[in-house]
Amino acid sequence: MPASIDVFFEFASPYSYLAAQELPALAARHGRPLRWRPIELAKVWEEQGVLEAYKVVRRAKGRHVMRNAARVAADRGVSFVPFRSLPNATAARLVVHRLNRCTPAAAQPFLLKVWRKLFAEGADIGLSEVLACCLDPHLHPEIELAQSNTQPPRTLRAPIGMQLPWVASEFLGSSLTIRPTSVKIGSTS
């Protein structure tokens, strides 16, 4: 079996959402499965010691990001509803982590539906009932089980080069060198 392509993403990133609309077809053309790895960008920035600077930049460019994402979505014929405040994606991230461990084939359909709920319908993905609409009924218990284990896997590592700017640059067609440096996410205890 060919090696999977690890996709590190943030649910709240409109660029992650837009890239995800094309990634499954791209991976299929190359005969490679995707392994979706949700991260929380704030944790990445915190680990790098730049969280406060990230918050300042995010406040300054937030509206621009949403306008630009709406333009890119329109160019690609993808539905897009900008959110007004940062969504609570914790439960969705935890469900993807759990699905990756227990039923990996269910992870991609789930997260694509969650993104459609957030960015195409403007739904609150922090609500269990919204997440339940995105998952096969026989897997609904996974939502509660995921929420009862609030710690993401300790071994999750997110390559520094694969943060939001990489996704946006690759998706929009420009090239960017990715360095193999990684940062650990979560606690080490």
* Residues 89-107: tens digit of each pLDDT: 999 999 999 999 989 999 9
Say if pTM beats, i.e. exceeds, 0.85.
no
Tokens of 33: 């499965």
> In 30-150, which ranges are continuous DSSP H helix?
41-47, 51-76, 90-102, 107-115, 128-133, 141-148
Ordered by where they begin, the domains of the chain are 5-184 (3.40.30.10)
Tokens of 166: 């990489």
Q: In Å, what is the CA distance from 97 to each residue of 12, 13, 131?
A: 16, 18, 14
Average pLDDT over all residues of the chain? 80
- For the cut 80, the answer to whether the pLDDT of residue 74 exceeds it is yes
The identity of residue 7, as a single letter, is V
* The predicted structure's pLDDT at residue 7: 94
- For the cut 50, the answer to whether the pLDDT of residue 182 exceeds it is no
Give phi and psi for 62, each to the nearest 5: -55, -50
* The predicted structure's pLDDT at residue 185: 37
- For the cut 90, the answer to whether the pLDDT of residue 67 exceeds it is yes
DSSP state of 137: G
